[in-house]
Structure 1
Amino acid sequence: MTYEDFSHFAGTWGLVFLFVLFIGAIAYAFWPSNKKKFEKASRLPLNDEEPLNDEENGEEKK
């Protein structure tokens, strides 16, 4: 197998592999059973019970 043959093989099958991977990621993102999980994850940044104090933010006590 020459470099040109390998390059053509890798280019063709690499494209097919990445396309299948992309379709799998899209299917996972839009799969109905994952909706609750993604909705819960989307609210995580807003679920702070209480703000961090200065020490937890890395600031020194005065």
Structure 2
Amino acid sequence: MDYNLMREFADSWALLAMALFFAGAIAFALRPGSRKLADEAARIPLEDD
């Protein structure tokens, strides 16, 4: 593969894949019920054993 072909791939399909992954990660973090799990995970360092 030469540089121009790799550059064209990165400018189009790789950028689209990264954007879809980012949107999926945001949607996963904001799904219903995730607030409770995030609050529980945030309290772990403060718990006494």
- TM > 0.5: yes
Tell me how far 1:5 sits from its aligned partner: 2.6
Q: Which one has a bigger Cα radius of gyration?
A: 1
TM-score by length of structure 1 reads: 0.63
Gaps of 5+ in 1: 50-62
Q: Figure out how many residues of one structure are paired with residues of the other and give that number.
A: 49
Task: Flag the structure with more relative contact order, 1 or 2, with Cα contacts below 8 A and sequence separation at least 6.
Answer: 1
Percent of aligned positions with the same letter in both sequences? 39
For residues 44-55 of structure 1, the aligned pairs below 5 Å read 44-49=44-49
4+ residue runs over 2 A deviation: none
What SS does the corresponding residue of 2:48 show, helix, strand or coil? coil
C-alpha RMSD of matched pairs (Å): 1.7
Partner of 1:6: 6
Structure in which a larger fraction of residues adopt helix: 2
Gaps of 5+ in 2: none
TM-score by length of structure 2 reads: 0.75
